Amino acid sequence: MSKQTLTITDNRTGQTIELPIEHDTVPAIGLRQLKVQADDFGMMLYDPGYTNTASCKSQVTFVDGDKGILRYRGYPIERLAKESTFLEVAYLLLFGELPTASKLTDWNARVMAQTRIDDGLKNLLQTFPADAHPMGVLISAVAAMSTFYPEAKQVHDSETRLRQVLRMLGQLPTAVAFAYRNGRGLPAIEPDAALGYSDNFLHMMGFAGDGDGGIDPVLARAMDVLFVLHADHEQNCSTSALRNIASSDADPYCAVAGAIGALYGPLHGGANEAVLRMLAEIGDVKKIPAYLDRVKGREVRLMGFGHRVYKNYDPRAQIVKKIAYEVFDVTGSNPLIDIAVELERTAIEDDYFVSRRLYPNVDFYSGIIYQAMGFPVEIFPVLFALGRTPGWLAQWMELMGDAEQRIARPRQIYLGEGERPYPPIGERG
């Protein structure tokens, strides 16, 4: 077998070092041996946006971006989306194995038993302006939970950790629905623990209507599958933010609140909202070529397209596109779907997108479904956050059990001023 090492020669000095290769990586700290002067700091890696830096070893989610593969704990996303419920997938992500039937029943009951929210949280949610963006509200709600459950600080106690996991999974949909209805002057609808996770969420949002037969099972299942598709995506921007925050032993509510903050941006989870606004702005299939010219002229980005990892069709987008038509059979079609389909067709044949390997991502079709179901556009990123919560929590649990992890603290290349004399205020230019 060949030697599992990487030999590097520093041409400034002729110094050669040999670094061990494990899992196709070398330890970055090994480069620090490379110095010109003995008192130099030593060589570092420069990697803005962490495009080629592994920050952890993980067993949760596998993505092969070139082949368009996504697996949670080894199970293909296509199979999980077809066969499993969202809470079943949450269990898988958190504990590493699919639950048996009895374990799943118990798990569902444990999560659903946590769906009531504190009066303190209700009071807080009533203080936001009616037009507050739901992501800002959700960030605040999750951060506030840190004050309601101070035991969460005991991040190295596994029983305490699990209690916070159950609270977050159970309470976040209730907080979202409560804030949504409160912002519209509608009375809150209490959670119904006898329902499934997504059924209960749509019920609390008030989507069952008055006195009818409850939530249409096709819509409840579509919601559940959309949550499954969003449940984890390895070391993306929000998950990395979460790991950074939690690496200081901050409690999980603060870490998840920070992750939601990262998700809020239009390049990440805010893209589903941005896609809908973009499709509405295009407004007509005839205007697609002109819009794509603006994209190619770098005036705007084609939202819902492109991905740091996928250089092929995002497997989640294929499933979302299929769900859209299932939902439309119940809700009636969303006219924006025609624009989206034509936009995709035109873009994936255009050299600008082909040469950069830009394809639709998970956010391209999801907003069209959410809108058809009755969600207002600004709540779309919140739906992403609800789906991603078990993934964040699974990554947090993994981090807490990883003896190799230390507080996250990157280095920088300092290019600012050297030491200079301090000018008194009256002498400054």
Active site residues: 268, 307, 363
Q: Which stretch binds ligand CMC (CB under 6 A): 62-70, 88-96, 267-275, 401-409?
A: 267-275
Interaction between residue 307 and ligand CMC (CB under 6 A): yes
User: In whole angstroms, how close is the CB of 206 to ligand CMC at the nearest point?
Assistant: 28
Angle at the Cα of 331 from the Cα atoms of 329 and 333, rounded to 5 degrees = 70
- Closest Cα to residue 266, out of 367, 198, 340? 367
Q: Which stretch binds ligand CMC (CB under 6 A): 20-28, 138-146, 198-206, 266-274?
A: 266-274
Q: Which stretch binds ligand CMC (CB under 6 A): 90-98, 136-144, 173-181, 355-363?
A: 355-363
Residue list 234-263, contact with ligand CMC (CB under 6 A)? 236
Residue from 93, 202, 303, 340 binding ligand CMC (CB under 6 A): 303
Interaction between residue 271 and ligand CMC (CB under 6 A): yes
User: In whole angstroms, how close is the CB of 232 to ligand CMC at the nearest point?
Assistant: 10
Interaction between residue 304 and ligand CMC (CB under 6 A): yes
Amino acid at 99: P
User: In whole angstroms, how close is the CB of 226 to ligand CMC at the nearest point?
Assistant: 13
Q: Which stretch binds ligand CMC (CB under 6 A): 61-69, 323-331, 354-362, 407-415?
A: 354-362
Contact of 360 with 317, CB cutoff 8 Å: yes
Contact of 395 with 243, CB cutoff 8 Å: yes
| Residue 17 phi, psi (nearest 5) | -125, 155
| Residue 349 phi, psi (nearest 5) | -105, -5
Task: Output the CA torsion 147→150→156→162 (10° steps).
Answer: -80
- Residue 245 β-bridge partners: none
DSSP label of 153: G
Which string of x and - marks every residue 409-428 that binds ligand CMC (by CB under 6 A)? --------------------
- Residues binding ligand CMC: number (CB under 6 A): 21
Interaction between residue 363 and ligand CMC (CB under 6 A): yes
If one counts every other C-beta atom within 10 angstroms of the C-beta of residue 284, the result is 10
- Measured between alpha carbons, how far is 95 from 73 in angstroms, rounded to an integer? 9
Interaction between residue 70 and ligand CMC (CB under 6 A): no
Q: Using the structure block, give the residue that is written with the tokens 């509405």.
A: 280
Residues 6+ apart with CB under 8 A from 148: 118, 120, 121
User: In whole angstroms, how close is the CB of 369 to ligand CMC at the nearest point?
Assistant: 15
Q: Which stretch binds ligand CMC (CB under 6 A): 9-17, 62-70, 336-344, 356-364?
A: 356-364
Residue from 45, 113, 186, 267 binding ligand CMC (CB under 6 A): 267
By beta-carbon proximity to ligand CMC, the closer residue of 202 and 231 is 231
Residue from 361, 366, 371, 389 binding ligand CMC (CB under 6 A): 361
- Measured between alpha carbons, how far is 134 from 272 in angstroms, rounded to an integer? 14
Contact of 357 with 65, CB cutoff 8 Å: no
Interaction between residue 321 and ligand CMC (CB under 6 A): no
By beta-carbon proximity to ligand CMC, the closer residue of 125 and 347 is 347
Interaction between residue 224 and ligand CMC (CB under 6 A): no
User: In whole angstroms, how close is the CB of 199 to ligand CMC at the nearest point?
Assistant: 26
Contact of 380 with 366, CB cutoff 8 Å: yes
Interaction between residue 362 and ligand CMC (CB under 6 A): yes
Alpha-carbon distance values, 207 to 186, 200, 215, 246 (Å): 12, 10, 7, 36
Interaction between residue 301 and ligand CMC (CB under 6 A): yes
- Measured between alpha carbons, how far is 343 from 306 in angstroms, rounded to an integer? 14
User: In whole angstroms, how close is the CB of 384 to ligand CMC at the nearest point?
Assistant: 8
By beta-carbon proximity to ligand CMC, the closer residue of 61 and 114 is 61
DSSP string, 84-106: --HHHHHHHHHHSSPPPHHHHHH
Which two structure tokens, joined as six digits, stand for 98? Answer: 């699919």
SS3 content of the chain, % helix, strand, coil (to 5): 55, 5, 40
Angle at the Cα of 75 from the Cα atoms of 69 and 79, rounded to 5 degrees = 85
Residue from 269, 387, 390, 391 binding ligand CMC (CB under 6 A): 269
Contact of 125 with 182, CB cutoff 8 Å: yes
Residue list 30-69, contact with ligand CMC (CB under 6 A)? 49
Q: Which stretch binds ligand CMC (CB under 6 A): 243-251, 306-314, 370-378, 394-402?
A: 306-314
Residues in touch with ligand CMC (CB under 6 A): 49, 233, 236, 267-269, 271, 295, 301-308, 356, 358, 361-363
